[in-house]
Amino acid sequence: MDKNNANIVLLGSGCFWHPEMIFHRTDGVIGTKVGYAGGTTENPTYAEVCSGQTGHAEVVKVEFDTNVIDFNKLLDIFWDIHDPTQINRQGVDIGTQYRSCIFTDYEPYIEIAKNAIDALNTSKRYNNPISTILYENVTFFEAENYHQKYLFR
């Protein structure tokens, strides 16, 4: 694979275990890691993130080959695997660490994500407005080893 076609995005859609499994099994995804993004603490632990005091979200780092899958398709999967209208929760998981969020520092992807959020709001696919937060950075702290590929066991 040509490394020039490899891109990275961080996606938060609740607990990171299930989304990691979904993205890991997606054609064109080169690799996944679970971790934390969007907070103020350097190298936070799971316990610190769960406390809600660090500001981090649980995210999946998705590395993908643009020759096989494009960013729009990844976003389609992202919207389908969670409720992007819920604020600071997904199902029974409640807290800011479970917020719906996208992290990218690549300008074309920033615009694509903004347009996708606008299109979803306009489409009325959901009864409530999209609450997904778009962050224009990819600062990522890898979660502890026991969280990696957790549902694959």
For the chain, the structural domain boundaries read: 3-152
Task: Please report the pLDDT score of residue 153 as a whole number.
Answer: 76
Report the chain's C-alpha Rg in angstroms: 15
Task: Please report the pLDDT score of residue 2 as a whole number.
Answer: 46
Low-confidence ranges of the chain (pLDDT < 70): 1-6
Report the b/e string of 84-108 with b at 16+ CB within 10 A.
bbbeebbeeeeebbbbbbbbbeeee
Task: Answer whether 0.85 is exceeded by the pTM.
Answer: yes
Task: Name the active-site residue from 8, 9, 11, 15.
Answer: 15
Task: Please report the pLDDT score of residue 38 as a whole number.
Answer: 97
Task: Please report the pLDDT score of residue 1 as a whole number.
Answer: 38
CATH number of this structure's domain 3-152 = 3.30.1060.10
Positive/negative CA dihedral, 12, 17, 20, 22: negative
Known active-site residue 50 = no
Task: Please report the pLDDT score of residue 5 as a whole number.
Answer: 56
Task: Please report the pLDDT score of residue 4 as a whole number.
Answer: 56
Task: Please report the pLDDT score of residue 15 as a whole number.
Answer: 96
